[in-house]
Amino acid sequence: MAIYTAISTDTGFFRFSNTTGETLSLASKLVDEYGISPSLIAERVYEEKSFESICLLAEVLSTLQVSKDNRFSWMVLSQEMLEKYPVEQEETENFVNYASSIRGIEVGLFFKEIKPGEIKVSWRSKATVDVSRLASHFGGGGHARAAGCSITGSLYEVIDEVLSFVQDYFLQNNNDLKDILA
């Protein structure tokens, strides 16, 4: 079940561009030969949330902001929010998808304060920006459409630094990072 869950979440339940024939074939094999239930996994991953998780999501969504040029958006999860609504870390992993799901947004960011001084930044993109290259500027990595990095510093200093970098990226380029990453 764990392998099918990993495949299905990494491919957005087979919606993302990283879904290949090989991916579908492996998923099919897991369903046919091992009796994996795609509907049960989808329900557990996307439809079953704790009350605290929903309350936390509401608070995080209240931080949602969009850049002046409407090209990127971001949300914030602070330690204070986590203290108010204690949830498992994995319950917040998909929060970033709300920032990137806004029509017209090219990059969605989610800033999560893991502990004071340690900020995890999750990056999502639809098709125009390779966020793994953006995250690599901060020592992170990932895939073209989903990436992450951890940055040391205060929550709002990290937010300012990353947002300034992303704004510069959009001001300077036609999706060519050579000037920013030099």
3-state secondary structure of 15: coil
Report the 10 Å Cβ neighbour count for 56: 22
Q: Work out the average pLDDT over 113-135.
A: 94
Q: In what order do the strands lie in the sheet with 72-77?
A: 65-66, 72-77, 107-115, 118-125, 146-152, 141-142
d(CA 110, CA 168): 18
Q: Would you state the pLDDT for residue 174?
A: 58
| CA distance from start to end of the chain | 43
For residue 17, the Cα-to-chain-centroid distance in whole angstroms is 16
Q: Would you state the pLDDT for residue 179?
A: 41
Give me the domains of the chain, ranges plus CATH numbers. Answer: 2-47 (no CATH), 51-181 (3.10.310.30)
The identity of residue 124, as a single letter, is: R
Better-predicted residue by pLDDT, 45 or 5:
5
Backbone phi, psi, residue 129, to 5°: -125, 130
Query: How much is the CA Rg of the chain, to the nearest whole Å?
Result: 17
Better-predicted residue by pLDDT, 179 or 163:
163
Place of tokens 């990059």: 107
Q: Would you state the pLDDT for residue 89?
A: 86
Q: Would you state the pLDDT for residue 111?
A: 99
Which of these ranges, 41-50, 53-62, 123-132, 135-144, has the smallest mean pLDDT? 41-50
**pTM score, whole prediction:** 0.80
Better-predicted residue by pLDDT, 42 or 40:
40
d(CA 182, CA 175): 15
CB 142 within 8 A of CB 16: no
pLDDT higher than threshold 70 for residue 178: no
pLDDT digits (tens, 9 = 90+) for 57-67: 999 999 999 99
Q: Would you state the pLDDT for residue 180?
A: 40
